[in-house]
Structure 1
Amino acid sequence: MAVSVNSRKIKKGLLILAVMHKSRFLNFSRGYLHSAVKSNEYSYSRIESNRVLKVLSKAGRIDDARNLFDKMLDRDDFSWNTMVAGYANSGRFTEAEKLFYETPVKSSITWTGLISGYCKYGFENEAFELFWEMKLQGQSPSQYTLGSVLGLCSTKGLLQKGEQIHGYAIKTWFDWNVFVVTSLVDMYGNCKCVFEAECLFEMVADCKYNAVWSAMLAGYSHYGYGYKAIECFRNMRTEGVESNQFTFPSILRACGAVMTCNFGSQVHGCIVRTGFGANIFVRSALVDMYAKCGDLNSAKSVLENMEFDDEVSWNSMILGCVRQGFEEEALSFFQKMLSRNMKIDEYTLPSVLNSFASMKDMQNAISVHCLIIKTGFEAYKLVNNALIDMYAKQGKLDCAIMAFSKMVDKDVVSWTSLVTGYSHNGSYEEAIKLFCKMIVSGVYPDQIAVASVLSACAELTVLRFGQQIHATLVKSGLGSSLSVDNSLVTMYAKCGNIVDANRAFDSMPTRDVISWTALIVGYAQNGRGKHSLQFYDQMIATGTKPDYITFIGLLFACSHDGLLGSGRAYFEAMDRVYGIKPGPEHYACMIDLYGRSGKLAEAKGLLNQMVEAPDAVVWKALLAACRVHKELELGEVAAKNLFELEPMNSMPYVMLSNMYSAAGKWEDAARIRRLMRSRGIWKEPGYSWIETNSRVDTFMSEDRRNPLRAEIYSKIDEIIMLIKEAGYVPDMSFALHDTDVEVKELENSSCNTGFHSSNQKWEFSKVSANRDHLNPPQIQIVQLPLRANQHWSQK
C-alpha cells in the first residue's frame, strides 16, 4: 500500500497525542490529527485507529473518539472495548450500556470496562448486578475486575459484599494474586477489619510490591494504629521496598496521630532524599503531621515553601493552630486564605468557628456566619454543627437553637453539641429534655452526649434518671470512656449515693485525677470528710498528682469536719509540694475553716496575704463566719465589699441586716433593708425539691401549688404544736424590734420554719409514701442553707 503524506501526519499526531494528551497542548495535537484523518485519500490502518481511540479515550475526548470509531470500517474487539470503557470512565453510562450490548463478542475486558466505570462513580447496585451477570454468562472475572469491585467495597465500606468477592477469589485461586490481595488488604483496612487485613498481608509480605505495603500502612493509620503503622514502615524500609506518594501520606498521618514528631521528621528527610518533596499530597500530609505534633514552625515552613497554594494544607495549618491554642494565628491564616482568593470549604470553616468559640470573639463569629450564609455553606452538616457548638460555647443558646432548628438532617454531633451547650450553660433541665428527644428521634447518643447529660443529672441531683442512663449505657454495649466513667462517679456522689459512686469508681479500667477528685469531693459533700482525706492518701499512693479542684475538695472536707490542722497542711502543700497556686476557692475554704474554728483573726490575716484582690466567694465566706461569731465590724467590711462586687445579690444585705438585728442595732438593720428595697433587690426564695415515684417535685416557702398542700400544712401545724410542747422557743433575734412577740413568732416559727420549703418537702414525701404504700424516698435536695430554726424543727 502506498503511504501518503497523511500517513506520516497521523503517525506524528499519534506521537504528539501520546505525550501531550493530558496537557494544555491537546487541542493542537487533536487538530493536527483531525486535519489528517478527514481526508478520504488515506485509508488508515486498524492498528493506528485503535491507538488513536485509546489516546483520545484516556484524554477524555470521548466524542472525538466516537467520530473516529464510526468511521472505522474494520473494528475489532479492542475497538469496542476501548469505546465501552471510554464512555464508562467518562460517566456516560447510557452510551456505554448501549455500546456494550451492541458489542459483537463480549470478552472479560468488555465486562470489566463497564463494571470499572460503575465502580468509579459509586454505582454499587449496577456494578454488582453486572458482575454476577458476567459470571452467569460464563465469563471469568479477571484480576482487574476483582480489583474494581473490591475498590468499590473499600470506598463504601461494603464489608459483606467484599467478603463474598474474597470467597470467589479463593475459589478461583486469585487469593495469591498480588494485585487482588492488595485490593483485599485495602478493603478490609477501610472496613475496620485490621486483623483480616494483616492475615492477607502476611501471605505476600515477602514481595517487593509497594502497593500492598501502602495498603496495609493506610489501614493502620486510618483507624488509629499509629505505632503498628510505624513498625510496618520500618519493616518496609528493611525489606528494601521503595516508598512512593501513596506510602508517605499514610505514615505521616500515623506520626501525627501518635504525635511522634521526631520520627515524622525522619520520614520528612526520607521524602526529600527520594524526591517526593514536591508532591502536593505529600506536602499536605507533612503540614498536617507537624501541626498535629504541635511543631507549628515546621508546619508553617513547609506551607510557605509550597509551589502552589493547597486548601487542604492550609486547613491543616488552621486546625493545628486551634488545637494548640493559637486562635489568633488560626484567624491570621484564614484571612490570608481569603486575601489570596483561595477556595474555602466545609473543612476550613469549622476550625475557624472553633477559634472564635475559644476567644469569645462574638463580633467576628457573626461576620463569618454571614460569610457562611452568603457562600451557601449553611447547607453543610459539618459547618452547621460547628455553628451550634460555637454559639453554645459563647453562651448564645438562642442562636445555637436557631442553627439547630434549621438543620434538616441532624446527626448525633448536632444533638450532642446542643445538649452539651445546655449543660455547660446551666440549663440542665433543657439538656435532659433534649437528650430524651434525641433518643425518641432515633439518634443514638455518643459518649460525649452521655457524659454531658450525666453532668446535668448531677447538678439537678435527679438520681433516678441518672440510673436509667447508666442502665441504658450498660445494656446497649455502647462502651465506656474515661469521661463517661468520671461523670457517673460525679453523678452518684452529688446525688448522695456514695455507695454506687464507689462501685462506679471501682469498676473503672483506668482512672485519672478527675476520677479520684470526684470521690474526694463526693465524700466531703456528703459529710464524710475523713473518708475524703483517706481517699486522697490512696490517690497519692498510686502516683496520681492532685490538681486545683482536688484541693478544693480536701479543704472543703476539712472545713466541714473542723480539721484545722489538716486543712493548714494541705493549703501549705499546694504551692510548696505541687506548685499549685491557691485560688479564691481555696482561700474561701480556709477562711470558712478558720471561721468555724472561731479563729477570725487568722482568717483576716489569711485574707491580707492574698496576692490578688479577694473575690465575692472569699468575702461571702468571711461574712458567714462573722455572722456566726457576731463579729460585726469585720462583717461590715465584708458586706460592703460584696455590695460593690455583686450589687444585685441579696445575700450580703440580708446577712448584714440580720447581724445588726442580733446586735440590737435596729436602725442600722432597717437602713440596710431600705437600701435593699431602693435598689430593687429582693431576697430570692429558697427552693427544695425531692424525687418520688420517678418524678421531681419542687417546693418554696409558703408554697400553695401542690395538690397535697392541705395534708402537708396540717402535718406541719401538728409538728409545730408538738415541738412547742417539748420546750422549743424560736430564735427571734433577727426579727425587727417594733413588732409584737406573737408576730415575731409567726414570722420566725410558722412562715420561716414550719412552712419552709424543706419542711414541706419532708412532709410531702411522707404523705406521698402513705398514699402509694411506698417507703419515703432516700434522696432529697435543699438549694439554700437552712436557718437555725429550720434545723431545729427537723431534728
Structure 2
Amino acid sequence: MRCGWIEAFVVSLHPYKRNPTVALPLASSHRRWFQTSLGLSLEFHLPQPHHFNSYPSHISEDVCLSLLSFFSKPKSARQGICVHSPIIKLGFHDHLSLNNHLLAVYIKFCGVGTARKLFDESTNRDVVTWSTIISAYSRVKNHEEALGLFKCMLTRSSLAGPNEFIYSSAICCAASLRLLDLGAQIHAHVQKRGFETNAVVGSALLDVYSKCGRFREASEIFASMDYRDVVSWTTMISALIEAKNWVGALRLYLLMIEGGTSPTEYTFAKLLTACGCFFGLRVGMMLHAHLILWGMELNLVLKTALVDMYSKCHRMRDALKVFLQTADSDVMLWTTMISGHSQAECYQEAITMFRDMKDAGVTPNSFTYSGVISACSSAPEPELGRQIHCRVIKAGLEDDVSVANALVDLYAKHSRDLDDTVRAFAAIVSPNIVSWTAFMAGLARHGLEQKVLLALVEMRLAGVEPNSFSLSTVLSSCNSVEALAHARKLHSYMIKTKVDAPDLAAGNSLVDVYARFGRVHDAWAVAHTMMARRDVFTYTSLAKALNQVGLHRRALDMIAYMHEEDVRIDGFSLACFLSATAGLAAMRSGKQLHGFSEKSGLLSWISVSNGLVDMYGKCGSVEEARRVFAAIEEPNVVSWNGLISGLASNSRFVEALSSFEDMSLGRAQPDGITFLLVLYACSHGGLPDAGVEYFNSMQESHGVAPQQDHYVCLVDMLGRAGRLEEAACTIETMPFQPDALVYKTLLASCKQHGNMVLGECMARKALEIDPSDPAIYVLLAGIYDDAGNVAWAEQTRRMMRERAKRKSLGQSWL
C-alpha cells in the first residue's frame, strides 16, 4: 500500500506522465496533509482513489528529496521553503542529502544570509554542504566570508578535504581581493591534493596570478595543464591582455582555434576590448567575422563589446549598425554609444542618443550622465547641460564623483559666473584629482592666477597629490612675471617627485611656460630631459620661444630635430617655422615650407595660410601674398591683418586701406592690431585726415576701444604731418596716463619740424617717467644741434653719459 502511495505521489509531481486509464491509490488524509501543511492542491482527473489507513508518517526521505527537487523551480519557491517544516516534524532534520537540498533552495530564493542560519544549525555536513555555502558567498562577492568558511573547513579533520569546486571558489575570492600570498598558499594546498591539473582549479589559478600581476606564473600553470577547456584558454587570453601582451593574446586565440576549442562570447568580448586599445580596426573586424562564422548569438555581452570596439576606432556608423541589429539593450550599451560619439567628437549625435535612450525607457546611470554632460560641454550646449544637471538631482546622483566632475568641467568652460563652478565643486564630498584639476582649470579661464595656486595648496592639504595633468593646468595659468617664480617651484617639485615621467603633459607645459617668458635656455633644458618623449607640442613651444627672442635661425633648426626623432610637423608648428622665415626675410626657406605645406596637405590649415601671407609680405613678395590670401576660403582677422601688414610695410598704403575696407564689408571683425596697421599706413602714407577718421571710428563703428599703442600711432601720424599742437592736445586728452613712448614719439616729430619749445616740454615729461632712456637725450640734443645751440646740445649729451644707459645698436637682417 505504501509503494502505491509513493507511485501516485511521483505521478502527481509530473502531470505530463499521467495515464488516465490507470487508477492510482491516494489516501484522502494524505491529500488533506499536503493541502494544509504545504498549501498544495493535488488535482487529479482520475477516479476517486481508494481510501486506506496509511498516514503521512509513512513518507520517506526519498519522497522529500523528490519534492525539494520539484520545488527548486522559481515559480515554486514558496512551497519549496515550506517543505522545511514538515521535514523537521518527520524527524529528517539530520538527513544530510535533505539538508544540502534545503540549503540550495534557501540560497536560491532567500539569499545567502538566511541560508547561513540553516548551515550554522546543521550538525551533519559534508563536502557538498561546504561547497554550496562557500560558492554562494563567492557569487555575491562576499569574498572575506567565503575565505573564512574555507579556512574553517580546513580545520575540520573529519572531512575528506575540499573538492575542485571549493578550491576554485576560494582561489577566485583571493583573486578578487588581490591576495597573492593567500592564492599561493592555496596553490600549494592544491598541489598536495593533486588538483593542479584539474581544468576548473587551473583556470582559477590562472585568474589569481594574472590579477595579481604575476603573469610568468600564470603562463607556467597554463603550460602545465593536461586538459585546457575554453575557460582556461579565455582566462589566459585575458591575463595576456591584462599584461598588455596584445600580440601574445591574439596568438593564443589562434592556437585555441587550431586546437579545436570553440571560443565563447567571453573570449570574443576580451579580444574585442583589446582591439580598442591596441589591435585596431582590422583585427576587430576579423574577430567580428569569426564571431559570425562560429554562429554566435549576438547577445548583450557581444553587442556591447562590438559597439565599444567600433567606437574606440571612431567607426560610429559600424557601431550604430551593430546597435540596431537586435532590439536587446541595456544602460551599459546605451552609455557605450554615447561615450563613443563623444570620443569621435560627434557631440550632437551623443546628445541625440541620450534623448533616444530616455524615449526607449532605459534609466541612465552615473556614467551615462557623466558622458552626456561632457558632450554638452564640448558641443557646446551649456543650457542643455544645466537641464541635465536638474535630472541628475532628481535621480539622486549628484553625489557621484564622476557626474560631479563633469558638471565642474561644464561650468568651468562655459559659465561666465565663477560661482557656478565653485558651487559644483563644493558639492563634491570627496573631490579626487580630476575634480581639483577641472576646478583649477575653471579658475585659470577666469584669469585668477593666485587662486589657482591657492587651490593647488589646498588640494595637497586635503591629501590629494597632483599629477602631470593638474600641474600642467596650474602652469598654463602662470602669465604674470611673479608667476615665473611659482613655475620654477613647480618644476622643482616635479623633479623631486618625478611626476612628469608618465606622460608629456607636464614637460610640455613647463617648456611652454618658460617659452612664454622668453626663458629659452630653461625651455630647452626641460626639453632635453624629455629625450625620446618629445612630441610636436614640445618643438612648437621651443620654436615659438626662439622666435620671440629673435633667434629665428635656431627656430628653423627644430625641423631637423623633428625629422631625426620622426615627429610629424602639424599646422601649428609649421606656422611657427613660417614666422621664423618671415623674421629672417628668408624667401628661399619660406618657399620650401610652402611646397611642403602643399604636399603634406597642411595648406588647408588657416594658421599655415596666414603664416604664408605674413612671410611673403615681410619678404617683399606682395603678389605672392595676395595669391595665398585669395586661396583662403574664409579668411579670419589674422589673414586680413597679414595682408594689410604686407601691403603697408611695402609702401602700398592705398591698397592696404582698400583691403581694410574690403575686410569691413566681409565677415571678419577688425581688432586692435588691424587699426594699428591702418594708422601706420595713414601715418607713412601722408593721410592724416583719413587716419583721424579711422581712429574715431574704432569705438563708434567697430567696438574696439583705443589703447596706448593706438594713441602713439595717432600722435606719430599728426607729428609727421606737422600738426604738432594737435598731437600735444591728443596726449593731454588721453583717457589714461601717458607713458614715455608717446612723449618720445612727439619729441621725434618736434626734431623733424624744428619745434624746440614743444620738444623741450616733451623731453622734460619723458625724463620724469624714465630718466635713464638714452633716446630722449639723443633726440633733445639733435633739436639743439639743428637750432645752432651747440652748448646746450653738448650739455645734454653729458647728462646722458651720467644718467643714461648705453643705447642699443640697431640690427637688420637685410
TM over 0.5: yes
- Give the deviation of 1:493 after TM superposition: 1.8
Question: Which aligned pairs between 1:711-790 and structure 2 lie closer than 5 A?
Answer: none
Paired letter, 1:345: N
1:277 match: 398
1:318 to 2:318 alignment: no
Q: Alignment partner for residue 162 of structure 1, among 257, 272, 284? A: 284
- Give the deviation of 1:389 after TM superposition: 1.5
1:458 to 2:582 alignment: yes
1:290 to 2:414 alignment: no
Matched position secondary structure for 2:575: helix
- Give the deviation of 1:132 after TM superposition: 0.9
Task: Summarize deviations over 1:181-237 as a string: whole Å, max 9, x none.
Answer: 432332232223344434443434x43333332222222212322222112212222
2:639 match: 515
The question of whether the paired residues in 1 share the 8 Å contact of 2:198 and 2:227 is answered with no
1:244 match: 365
Task: Summarize deviations over 1:525-567 as a string: whole Å, max 9, x none.
Answer: 2212221222122222124322111111111111122222221
2:216 match: 94
Higher-Rg structure is: 2
* Total equivalences in the alignment: 685
Matched position secondary structure for 2:546: helix
Q: Alignment partner for residue 523 of structure 2, among 388, 400, 403? A: 400
Aligned equivalents of 2:421 and 2:734: distance in 1? 43
The question of whether the paired residues in 2 share the 8 Å contact of 1:56 and 1:64 is answered with no
Aligned equivalents of 2:279 and 2:596: distance in 1? 28
- Give the deviation of 1:72 after TM superposition: 5.7
2:494 match: 372
2:239 match: 117
Matched position secondary structure for 2:794: helix
2:680 match: 556
Paired letter, 1:552: L
- Give the deviation of 1:154 after TM superposition: 0.7
1:443 to 2:567 alignment: yes
In terms of mean alpha carbon deviation, does 237-246 or 345-354 score higher? 237-246
Aligned equivalents of 2:594 and 2:793: distance in 1? 51
Q: Alignment partner for residue 151 of structure 1, among 257, 261, 273? A: 273
- Give the deviation of 1:130 after TM superposition: 0.1
Q: 1:481 and 1:156, CA in 2 relative to 1: closer, same or farther beyond 3 A?
A: same
2:614 match: 490
- Give the deviation of 1:645 after TM superposition: 4.4
| Structure 2: stretches of 5+ with no match in the other structure | 1-94, 97-121
In terms of mean alpha carbon deviation, does 476-485 or 384-393 score higher? 476-485
1:216 match: 337
Task: Summarize deviations over 1:379-425 as a string: whole Å, max 9, x none.
Answer: 35322222222222223333222222222222222222222222234
Question: Which aligned pairs between 1:8-87 and structure 2 lie closer than 5 A?
Answer: 15-16=136-137, 18-19=139-140, 21=142, 26=144, 29-43=146-160, 47-48=165-166, 50-61=168-179, 62-63=183-184, 65-66=186-187, 69-70=190-191, 77-87=199-209
- Give the deviation of 1:87 after TM superposition: 3.2
Matched position secondary structure for 1:242: coil
Task: Summarize deviations over 1:630-665 as a string: whole Å, max 9, x none.
Answer: 111112223334445454544333333232222211
Aligned equivalents of 2:209 and 2:701: distance in 1? 74
Task: Summarize deviations over 1:692-730 as a string: whole Å, max 9, x none.
Answer: xxxxxxxxxxxxxxxxxxxxxxxxxxxxxxxxxxxxxxx
Paired letter, 1:302: A
| Poorly superposed stretches of 4+, deviation over 6 Å | none
2:704 match: 580
| Structure 1: stretches of 5+ with no match in the other structure | 691-795
Matched position secondary structure for 1:126: helix
Q: 1:432 and 1:54, CA in 2 relative to 1: closer, same or farther beyond 3 A?
A: closer
Matched position secondary structure for 2:488: helix
Paired letter, 1:300: V
The question of whether the paired residues in 2 share the 8 Å contact of 1:585 and 1:617 is answered with no
Aligned equivalents of 2:377 and 2:531: distance in 1? 35
The question of whether the paired residues in 2 share the 8 Å contact of 1:415 and 1:438 is answered with yes
Paired letter, 1:389: D
Matched position secondary structure for 2:681: helix
Matched position secondary structure for 1:347: helix
Matched position secondary structure for 1:135: helix
Matched position secondary structure for 1:246: helix
1:728 match: none
Q: Alignment partner for residue 618 of structure 1, among 721, 737, 742? A: 742
Matched position secondary structure for 2:757: helix
Matched position secondary structure for 2:444: helix
Paired letter, 1:664: G
Paired letter, 1:676: M
Q: 1:139 and 1:17, CA in 2 relative to 1: closer, same or farther beyond 3 A?
A: closer
Aligned equivalents of 1:511 and 1:235: distance in 2? 39
- Give the deviation of 1:77 after TM superposition: 4.2
Aligned equivalents of 2:164 and 2:233: distance in 1? 22
Aligned equivalents of 2:645 and 2:231: distance in 1? 71
Q: 1:282 and 1:545, CA in 2 relative to 1: closer, same or farther beyond 3 A?
A: same
Q: 1:686 and 1:87, CA in 2 relative to 1: closer, same or farther beyond 3 A?
A: closer
Matched position secondary structure for 2:468: coil
Which protein, 1 or 2, shows the higher relative CO under an 8 Å CA cutoff with sep ≥ 6?
1
Task: Summarize deviations over 1:331-360 as a string: whole Å, max 9, x none.
Answer: 222111111122222222111222224564
Aligned equivalents of 1:371 and 1:339: distance in 2? 15
Question: Which aligned pairs between 1:337-352 and structure 2 lie closer than 5 A?
Answer: 337-352=459-474
- Give the deviation of 1:450 after TM superposition: 1.9
Matched position secondary structure for 2:813: strand
Task: Summarize deviations over 1:736-778 as a string: whole Å, max 9, x none.
Answer: xxxxxxxxxxxxxxxxxxxxxxxxxxxxxxxxxxxxxxxxxxx
Q: 1:296 and 1:359, CA in 2 relative to 1: closer, same or farther beyond 3 A?
A: farther
Q: 1:293 and 1:156, CA in 2 relative to 1: closer, same or farther beyond 3 A?
A: farther
- Give the deviation of 1:124 after TM superposition: 0.7
Q: Alignment partner for residue 430 of structure 2, among 272, 287, 308? A: 308
Paired letter, 1:241: V
Paired letter, 2:405: S
Aligned equivalents of 1:73 and 1:677: distance in 2? 99
Aligned equivalents of 2:464 and 2:137: distance in 1? 34
Aligned equivalents of 2:733 and 2:412: distance in 1? 43
Matched position secondary structure for 1:557: helix
1:546 to 2:663 alignment: no
Q: 1:16 and 1:200, CA in 2 relative to 1: closer, same or farther beyond 3 A?
A: closer
Paired letter, 1:121: A
Q: 1:32 and 1:180, CA in 2 relative to 1: closer, same or farther beyond 3 A?
A: closer
State TM-score, norm by structure 1.
0.80
Aligned equivalents of 1:398 and 1:647: distance in 2? 32
Matched position secondary structure for 1:598: coil
Aligned equivalents of 1:386 and 1:359: distance in 2? 17
Matched position secondary structure for 2:263: coil
The question of whether the paired residues in 1 share the 8 Å contact of 2:165 and 2:200 is answered with no
Matched position secondary structure for 1:379: coil
Question: Which aligned pairs between 1:182-193 and structure 2 lie closer than 5 A?
Answer: 182-193=304-315
2:775 match: 651
In terms of mean alpha carbon deviation, does 212-221 or 281-290 score higher? 281-290
- Give the deviation of 1:446 after TM superposition: 2.7
Task: Summarize deviations over 1:55-110 as a string: whole Å, max 9, x none.
Answer: 44444443355356446678864333333334333333333233323334322222
Paired letter, 1:438: M
Q: Alignment partner for residue 451 of structure 2, among 317, 329, 342? A: 329
Q: 1:81 and 1:30, CA in 2 relative to 1: closer, same or farther beyond 3 A?
A: closer
What is the CA RMSD across the aligned residues, in angstroms? 2.9
Aligned equivalents of 1:138 and 1:11: distance in 2? 33
1:201 match: 323
Aligned equivalents of 2:574 and 2:799: distance in 1? 46
- Give the deviation of 1:133 after TM superposition: 0.8
Aligned equivalents of 1:678 and 1:87: distance in 2? 81
1:566 to 2:672 alignment: no
The question of whether the paired residues in 2 share the 8 Å contact of 1:520 and 1:533 is answered with yes
Aligned equivalents of 2:584 and 2:148: distance in 1? 78
The question of whether the paired residues in 1 share the 8 Å contact of 2:138 and 2:169 is answered with no
